[in-house]
Structure 1
Amino acid sequence: MFLLALGRLRRRPAAFSGLAVALFLLIATTTLFGSLAAAEITAPEAVRDTKVAGPGLMVIAGVFGEIAVLVAFFVVVNATGFALRRQLRELALLRTIAATPRQVRRLARVQLLVTTLAVAAPGGLAGTAAAHSFLTALHERGMAAPDLRLPTTPLPALIATAITLAVGLAASAVAVRRISRIAPAAALTATTTEHGRTGVLRLLAGLGALVGGGMLLRLAATRPAEELDKAGQAALFGSLVLLVAVALTGPLAARALAAALGAPMRLLMPGTGWLADANLRGYARRLTSAVVPVALLVGLSATMSIMTSTAEHAARATSATSATDVWLRQAELALLTCFAAVSTINTVVAVTAERRREFALLRLVGATRRQLLRMLTAEAALTTAVGVLLGAAVAAAATAAFSTAATGSVLPSVPAAACGWIVLGAATLTVPGILTTGLVTIQGAPTEQAGAGRD
């Protein structure tokens, strides 16, 4: 299995590029906040006792690190799943020559281990450099003791690598579960069909996540104004849990939204619009894979932006927050946006690239490249719209809860310009990614691509 894993990594490194970026980002982030925690732990007592603005370095490192790991788990699960799906035919062939599901899972673990070790050193160096910059910013705002310095030790990077391995292995176990159990014959034909329906357990888990997210938002809404930071964290965690619910129940919600939004597109574009709508509704799982990262990007970014605007509005009215709180939320927004952007780009590229055989079959029955690109344009627009609507729904619920705690009203202060940029950013990441990948994918002879299956 070890030699097979290395062989696949050497032959098709591009299939693991999205996973490598996600793991690199996780190592860098955990190294960053681990270094800040190490600086606080190793500082002399007199330095630790220095009064500073804000919640303190350990709280910042703990909260930011916890949120980063939670979001990173989601991103790494997604990236691992696509890396494995690119190998589905090879894994199926291994199964036909007596490879067991345990051996398939072991192969996935080895690939993840090798990829993690490959990005460990650059990720650690990037995280250490980011820690120095972040600590400097904290010094400038009086949020860290002036004499606080980062210790010269590789321990934070090593711990970050260990955490990333643990997250990656857990993500691998989730992503490989269905692929290792699927029958070899079914895997060989999986390029053109979508197997199975949304299971009862998945729906129950989605409903459980929906209830859990609602409880967290209720907790956020009932916080007093002097505990606005706690309300903000509860609202943010609530939005993350609701996004998990969206991912679990996605095939149902995405299909319904695609059907509603696809109706006008079928009228405006009778040919390619109808085909794009049929593709999205017929492949609900594929649609969910594409829209959930968009919803993650929009939901988290809009939640943080609207909460920041609402907190500033509350500060002008009641001095309930401070400039340091606003700055921390902006830094948190930048961190979450990085993870969500990586997930969005990786997903739309992977989902489109694995449709090579489908595009070849359409070309064999008479579709031209121009018609395929028009179909992909319509699909990209629908995918973006569905993801934006799902993310906006989550952001609306989370910010209503936060606004209740901050101002006593369920109507938050919405920065229209910032929200417009968020939607534009989601479209910029999604539409060009789908079209560029599609343009590359449809190159070549369709007869060869139709018979090649998954690459």
Structure 2
Amino acid sequence: MSTPVSTPVSTPVSTPVDAADRAAGRPPTPWSSWPRSSTGLLAPLGCGTAVVAACAGLLESGIRAPVRTHGDGGPGADGAALVALAASLGGFAVLMAVLLVAGAVGTSVRAQGRELALLRCVAATPRRIHRTVRAQVLQCLLLVAVPGLLLGRVLGAGALSLLTAHGVAPAGTPYRSGWLPLVVTGGSVLVVAVAAAWSATRPLVRSSPAALLAAAGTGRRWAGPGRVGAGLVLLAGGAALSTVTATVFRGDPLAAATAGPAPIAWAGGLALLGPAVTAVLTAPVRLLGRGPGVLGSAVARTTASSVESAAIAVPVLVAVGTSLGTLLLGSTSSALTGADPVNTWAGYLLAALVVGCSTLHLVNSLAEAAALRQRQTALLRIVGAGPGWLLRVDAVHATVLAACGALAGLAVAAAAVVPYRLAVTGRVSGTGSWEVVLVVLGAAVLLPAVLSTVPTLLSLREPAVRRLARAR
């Protein structure tokens, strides 16, 4: 007797969002199967578009600035200075967009790790996985393209007004946002988004489905040889810049040329080695002990995973190290060497750019950490943990990690500022330094402590049992 051969039937994949919609009696919509984790891409893509568009607008404004004759403006108040500043900021803006979008896409892919692993198990090809993630990223980019361009126009016009008021740009220079910002921004952000999608899905298509399912949600792998090598190269570059500043250019005004990039190199190297650096920084925290109290629970969470801890500590490290180093270098140059105001304001705008992008990355990291802990939080609520206890644990945990990142950032700033002050003045201390340091460190520690409680406050609005059912 012959056995009938069954023909496989192609059925659509049902996502958790589809099931939730059916259970609630909601009709399906085109966005029903769109992963909710992709919403975390909207803000990074929008902000990346805005900062690149703002710098491109400044560049076009400088190119088309009116030509000054003798006596029409102060020294340096011409379009060439604005072009140089915009080009410098534009390069850093693209770099920050790359880091911001790459981090957000990686977070989104990690959040969908189990679902993408299941797709691999049901014979989804690597090309299909790449296409799925790329489609999500491009959908988000389309949603934020117009708002990002409009925000970039507002930021660019505000920056131009500030530069004009301080004599960096010619008085009366109009802000222009024509075809150049549109082409530069569209091309740059599109390339960054597609490259980030490819980079984030590459580990998924190179591993076996069984290995992906086993590793889904563990977050143990944090770096490959390329990332470690790049981090070590940046640290070596930072050490070389600081050494050259303190020795070769001692007493030479050109010391600012090597001191300026130093905090970026130091911070970038430590950021690439973030989990390893965080593990070293949080090692003394274990001495605080473990226990059922708020402090013990926060310590246990801090030392449980260096990868998750680095997601909070590293943005603080980058923000404090780069901004504090840039501000102190700028103030020293202005007070002692009469530095060009173009370079000074370029440093200030760069510091603002780094702080803004790092803050956004920190918010995304805190949201991801809260989403990964929602099952644990729901179980704690079921067994009797009160809202106040949960909020205190979140605040203490974020404060400890932010303090570790802030101290590392202070070391980064010192590694750049101390050699420069030794080269220029022959001493380490300077006027007004401690006030700036205290303000930056205080803000860096308090902001994560406050932001960390927001996801928990939002989750408390829903019953614990329902939250547990919806947990990943």
Alpha-carbon contact 2:259-2:420 (below 8 Å) kept: yes
Is 1:35 equivalent to 2:20 in the alignment? no
Offset at 1:452? 4.7
Q: Match of 2:59, as an amino acid? A: A
What is aligned with 2:76?
A: 53
Distance 1:17 1:137, change over 3 A: same
Inter-partner Cα distance in structure 2 for 1:356 and 1:122: 31
Taking the TM superposition and a 5 Å limit, the aligned residue runs for 1:4-403 are 15-43=37-65, 52-53=75-76, 56-146=81-171, 148-151=173-176, 153-185=178-210, 187-188=212-213, 193-196=218-221, 199=224, 202-221=227-246, 222-223=248-249, 227=253, 231-232=255-256, 234-264=258-288, 266=289, 271-314=293-336, 319-321=337-339, 325-363=343-381, 367-403=385-421
Inter-partner Cα distance in structure 2 for 1:381 and 1:39: 42
Offset at 1:337? 1.8
SS in 1 for 2:452: helix
Inter-partner Cα distance in structure 1 for 2:315 and 2:378: 27
Deviation digits for residues 318-344 of structure 1 (CA, Å, limit 9, x no counterpart)? x43255544443333222222222122
Offset at 1:285? 0.7
Q: Which runs of 5+ in 1 are unaligned?
A: none
Distance 1:200 1:60, change over 3 A: closer
Offset at 1:175? 2.8
Offset at 1:348? 1.5
Distance 1:381 1:35, change over 3 A: closer
Inter-partner Cα distance in structure 2 for 1:450 and 1:366: 14
SS in 1 for 2:356: helix
Inter-partner Cα distance in structure 2 for 1:201 and 1:297: 24
Inter-partner Cα distance in structure 2 for 1:46 and 1:313: 29
SS in 1 for 2:261: helix
TM-score (norm 2): 0.81
SS in 2 for 1:144: coil
Deviation digits for residues 251-283 of structure 1 (CA, Å, limit 9, x no counterpart)? 22212221203423x37x763323322222221
Offset at 1:136? 3.2
Q: Which has the larger share of helix?
A: 1
Inter-partner Cα distance in structure 2 for 1:452 and 1:181: 30
SS in 2 for 1:71: helix
Offset at 1:199? 4.9
Distance 1:100 1:236, change over 3 A: farther
What is aligned with 2:4?
A: none
**How many percent identity over aligned positions?**
30
Deviation digits for residues 13-69 of structure 1 (CA, Å, limit 9, x no counterpart)? 863444322222222222222222223334566679987427711210111111122
What is aligned with 2:9?
A: none
SS in 1 for 2:391: helix
Offset at 1:108? 1.8
Alpha-carbon contact 2:114-2:217 (below 8 Å) kept: no
Alpha-carbon contact 1:27-1:160 (below 8 Å) kept: yes
Alpha-carbon contact 1:9-1:16 (below 8 Å) kept: no
Alpha-carbon contact 2:241-2:262 (below 8 Å) kept: yes
Distance 1:234 1:15, change over 3 A: farther
Inter-partner Cα distance in structure 2 for 1:166 and 1:133: 27
SS in 1 for 2:167: coil
Inter-partner Cα distance in structure 1 for 2:470 and 2:446: 31
Inter-partner Cα distance in structure 2 for 1:338 and 1:423: 16
Deviation digits for residues 70-111 of structure 1 (CA, Å, limit 9, x no counterpart)? 222222221111222232232223222211233222222222
Larger Rg: 2
Offset at 1:160? 0.8
Distance 1:289 1:102, change over 3 A: farther
Alpha-carbon contact 1:298-1:422 (below 8 Å) kept: yes
Q: Match of 2:365, as an amino acid? A: T
Alpha-carbon contact 1:306-1:413 (below 8 Å) kept: no
Distance 1:406 1:65, change over 3 A: farther
Q: Match of 1:24, as an amino acid? A: G
Alpha-carbon contact 2:326-2:348 (below 8 Å) kept: yes
Offset at 1:417? 2.5
Q: Match of 2:350, as an amino acid? A: E
Inter-partner Cα distance in structure 2 for 1:8 and 1:68: 34
Distance 1:175 1:409, change over 3 A: farther
Greater mean alpha carbon deviation, residues 364-373 or residues 397-406: 364-373
Inter-partner Cα distance in structure 2 for 1:202 and 1:322: 36
Distance 1:325 1:213, change over 3 A: closer
Alpha-carbon contact 2:74-2:167 (below 8 Å) kept: no
Distance 1:422 1:51, change over 3 A: closer
Alpha-carbon contact 1:9-1:111 (below 8 Å) kept: no
Distance 1:310 1:216, change over 3 A: same
Distance 1:336 1:211, change over 3 A: same
Alpha-carbon contact 1:313-1:413 (below 8 Å) kept: no
Distance 1:52 1:80, change over 3 A: farther
Offset at 1:447? 5.3
Q: Match of 2:191, as an amino acid? A: A
